[in-house]
Amino acid sequence: MTETLPGPVEICRETAPVPYRAALEAMTARNAAIAIGEARELIWLLEHPPVYTAGTSAAAAELLDPRFEVVQAGRGGRYTYHGPGQRIGYVLLDLRRRARDARGFVHALEGWVIATLADFGVESWRSTGRIGIWTQDIDGREAKIGAIGVRIRRWVTMHGFSVNLSPDLAHFGGIVPCGIEEFGVTSLARLGVEVDSATWDRALLNHTDAFLAALDVACPKES
């Protein structure tokens, strides 16, 4: 079931899992339609059945155990896992209407997720040289709680972010997540914070105006 919310940017929430290949096909078509002025911008919130996706920098050696379907995603980045308990945000925006700044777009995406995690009492941050959202895990070490992977075609964005609410973290063991071996992955559930997708979506969407406003200015020089 799809729930569509009103606003200057179309917002769609999926309440049932969407197969990755179907989502990729729909997102690619929507990206092209936005670029020629035939569709509205879109923020699409959903989750996928278990799948490994490969970005344009994925190395074969980082696919350790392909226990799930592996799909070439066409986004930036390396291998990542998507599955139940993980919330995905696909963000299709026309940067010709905003600052034409790819780095600034990624910075704003990260800030959007960081602000939402703070609503649940979870401090998170950017780490220099490592794309994504990081936090302190239960063992005191730094771990990734959210991934970022984007593509920009004709200045229209696609793909976006994923946040680990309560996925089976063992499923990340089939890959080297984002090509970073020395750091693990964590989730809100592992940190003792129980958040379902509807609650996450409400909190995230409360920060949408601030996210969109951040796209109207150039990215700061320091992350």
Query: In the annotation, is 178 catalytic?
Result: yes
Per-residue CA distances from 29 to 23, 48, 153, 161 (Å): 10, 19, 12, 19
Per the residue annotation, which of 178, 185, 195, 214 is the catalytic one?
Answer: 178
* Distance between CA atoms of residues 141 and 128, nearest Å: 16
Burial class (CB in 10 A: 0-12, 13-18, 19+), 72: exposed
**CB-side neighbour CA atoms (13 Å) of 47:** 20
Beta bridge partners of 134: 125, 144
Are 72 and 149 in contact by the 8 Å Cβ rule? The answer is: no
Give catalytic residue positions. 178
